[in-house]
Amino acid sequence: MANIVVIGIQWGDEGKGKIVDLLTPDADVVARFQGGPNAGHTLVIGNKKTVLHLVPSGILHHNTLCLIGNGTVVAPETIVEEMDALMQAGIPVTDRLRISDRCQLILPYHRSLDAAREKARGKARIGTTGRGIGPAYEDKTARRGIRLIDLTSNDLNAKICESLGWANFLLTEYFKTDAVRRADVDTVLDLARERLLPLIADVSLLLQERHKAGDSMLFEGAQGTMLDVDFGTYPFVTSSNTVSGAAMAGLGIGPAMIDEVLGICKAYTTRVGAGPFPTELYNAEGMNHSAGRHLAERGQEFGATTGRPRRTGWFDAVVVRHAVRVAGVTGMAVTKLDVLDGLSDVNLCVAYERNGERLQSIPADAGILDECVPVYETLPGWSENTFGLTDMAQLPNNAKALLARIEEVCACPVKMLSTGPDREHICWL
């Protein structure tokens, strides 16, 4: 198999975990390259559901090496809990999981800062996952972050004093809230020392060796292009680059090691958290279009990390075209087609209109995107059941027509079609 970057090309939760898991039998290595425990990747095998936040989605396959790259921010408590749950389920982890020594740690004060900032923003809050992602990446860029390798350094105390000192200054003086105790930070550092240091590796070197040996690799993205810190709906985004380009900087590899970019999108759109969403139909704040409610209910649209209800809406080809371009997507996997079963009509947004002008691409300003009105094409729906189908030939003609139109308006081929949460629910094109 070629080396494939798998990324989300909407607002996250497209089904990346499921697709990575089902491609893993053909891969020797699966590597995460950005994001952190804000991610929630769901794998369903038979009646067993596994949600992964930091451990790569290849972990259920016993012969696969799973790597966490330097671009990722790691919360020691979360990953240790995840490792323990996997091991309790009989999955060997420590032999097959390696974490970059250059990974930044998420420490308790990052979560406190995340919460304090969201509270201070009030109505303008981003709706983060509260996992401390933004503050951890801020510390990284400000060069006061704590990396896994720092746990072996004589300077660790000075580094913690700087990082915690800054956080506590902000918490107490600016946000007027409680400081984080050094003892609580030390507890987490002790856990990381005990459980994570034995797993550290130079991930870039490992990948180079494996590449030379002819191994095939999956690079697993988190979030989605519309949450990318540069190309998403800034400032309603996450704090990392989520596009395919981030795989290189987040692992220490060059472009020649990447053969394909597989973009995952739902056959409709969802978003958790605040920010513009032009094709939105349904949300917990009272928007209640019946098709949107159908998508939320049938799609069981609740966040895998926070349990929050997801906002739902029609498929937005302007969003997906944008992602196909900025991330160089070479093929798409369309997921959750089954959720559209039973809708009499299905809308596809092909462009936007704003002040009488037509827009074909995503404007840089989130305020402008918020004013965009979708231009829809309406296609006939289907009453047949597509749940669990594994053969394209069995799809209703209207579903085939929808997929053909999605390929056309997004200018990208559909390579896989997912028809249910289970690993087996897949049509290969």
Catalytic residues: 13, 41
150 binds, among ligand IMO, ligand GDP, Mg ion, none (CB under 5 to 8 A by kind): none
Q: Using CB under 6 A, pick the residue from 103, 272, 333, 346 that binds ligand IMO.
A: 272
Tell me if residue 373 falls in helix, strand or coil.
strand
Tell me how far, at minimum, the Cβ of 102 lies from ligand GDP, in Å: 24
Distance between CA atoms of residues 247 and 371, nearest Å: 33
Q: How far apart are CA 297 and CA 294, in angstroms?
A: 5
Decide whether 42 or 208 has the Cβ nearer to ligand GDP. Answer: 42
Residue 131 interacts with which of ligand IMO, ligand GDP, Mg ion, none, CB < 5 to 8 Å by class: ligand IMO
Alpha-carbon distances of 423 from 18, 73, 126, 361, 362, rounded to whole Å: 6, 28, 33, 34, 33
Q: Which does 272 bind (CB under 5 to 8 A by kind): ligand GDP, ligand IMO, Mg ion, none?
A: ligand IMO
- CB 4, CB 247: distance < 8 Å: no
Write the CA distances from 185 to 108, 220, 306, 395, 429, integer angstroms. 6, 29, 23, 54, 50
Give which of 167, 50, 44 is closest to 110, Cα–Cα.
167
Size of the site for ligand IMO (CB under 6 A): 24
Instruction: Please identify, using beta-carbon distances, which residue of 92 and 388 lies nearer to ligand GDP.
Output: 388
Binder among 8, 15, 35, 40 for Mg ion (CB under 5 A): 40
CB of 150 or CB of 338, closer to ligand GDP: 338
Q: How far is the CB of 74 from Mg ion (least distance, A)?
A: 17
Does position 15 interact with ligand IMO (CB under 6 A)? The reply is no
Alpha helices in 196-316 (DSSP H): 203-212, 245-249, 290-298
Query: Taking Cα atoms as reference points, which of 262, 204, 196, 199 lies closest to residue 29?
Result: 204
**Residue 236 per-residue DSSP state:** S
List of residues contacting ligand GDP (CB under 6 A): 8, 12-18, 40-42, 44, 304, 335-336, 338-339, 418-421, 425
Nearer to Mg ion, 41 or 210 (CB): 41
Alpha-carbon Rg of the chain, whole angstroms? 21
What dihedral do alpha carbons 335, 336, 337, 343 form, nearest 10°?
Answer: -150
Residues 116-155: x where in contact with ligand IMO by CB under 6 A, - otherwise, as a string:
----------xxxx-x-xx---------------------
Nearest-angstrom CA–CA distance, 17 and 54 = 11
Residues in region 19-48 near ligand IMO by CB under 6 A:
35, 38-41
Q: How far apart, in whole angstroms, are the C-alpha atoms of residue 407 and residue 267?
A: 12
CB 332 within 8 A of CB 413: yes
- 238, interface contact from ligand GDP, ligand IMO, Mg ion, none, CB < 5-8 Å by kind: ligand IMO
CB 335, min distance to ligand GDP, A? 4
**CB under 5 to 8 A by kind: which of ligand IMO, ligand GDP, Mg ion, none does 163 bind?**
none
Q: Closer to ligand GDP by CB, 350 or 389: give it.
A: 389
The reply on whether position 66 binds Mg ion by CB under 5 A is no
Distances (CA, A) of 237 to 12, 135, 261, 275, 365: 11, 14, 21, 8, 13
Please state the closest distance from residue 12 (CB atom) to ligand GDP, in A: 6
CB count in 10 Å sphere of residue 81? 14
Partner from ligand GDP, Mg ion, ligand IMO, none contacting 312, C-beta within 5 to 8 A by type: none
Q: Among 304, 319, 362, 426, which residue sits at the site for Mg ion (rule: CB under 5 A)? A: 304
Interacting positions 227-256 with ligand IMO (CB under 6 A)? 227, 238-239
Among 6, 13, 210, 347, the residue binding Mg ion under the rule CB under 5 A is 13
Burial of 149 (0-12, 13-18, 19+ CB in 10 A): middle
CA angle 397, 399, 405 (to 5 degrees): 105
Minimum distance of ligand IMO from residue 261's CB (angstroms): 16
Q: Which stretches of the chain bind ligand IMO, using CB under 6 A? A: 8, 12-13, 35, 38-41, 126-129, 131, 133-134, 222-224, 227, 238-239, 272-273, 304
Q: Which stretches of the chain bind Mg ion, using CB under 5 A? A: 13, 40, 304
